[in-house]
Amino acid sequence: MATKLNQKALDHARSLVKAGKVVRDTRDDWSEHAPSAEEENAFIKKHGFSEFSKWHLGLDPDESEGTKGRVSFPFGDFKKVHRCAVVSLESRAAQYHHDEIARAAKDLLEKIDADS
């Protein structure tokens, strides 16, 4: 089965944007701003995988629950939504024909840009 939209993550991202918890950076910044594997592991250890998954718009039901392989298309650093992450994930989702995720990212990006 293809990766599907993680609705809980989209709701979480929208609430963060509404609360102004956004970093308005540029597209190429995500490689520098993305959490490292160590930061991801520390977040999972402290908050659990359910909270970790709320930071990823993609969900692969064929992957084992509680594994990093189950989630994809991250949009933030566990504190704020990063515009650069949303731009990047929209492009990747469209490239791999995850249309629902690409549309959600585009909508999220429009909300981020409208609030700036």
Which residues partner with 5 through β-bridges? 58
Q: How confident is the model at residue 116 (pLDDT cuts 50, 70, 90)?
A: low
Q: How confident is the model at residue 2 (pLDDT cuts 50, 70, 90)?
A: confident
User: Is 5 a residue whose pLDDT tops 70?
Assistant: yes
Smallest CA-to-CA distance from 85 within 61, 68, 69, 101 is with 101
Domain that holds residue 31: 4-114
Residue 53 near residue 84 (C-beta atoms within 8 A): no
Tokens of 106: 């585009």
> Per-residue pLDDT tens for 66-92?
999 999 999 999 999 999 999 999 999
Percent of the chain scoring above 90 in pLDDT: 90
Full-model pTM: 0.94
Residue 64 and residue 109: Cα distance in Å, rounded?
Answer: 30
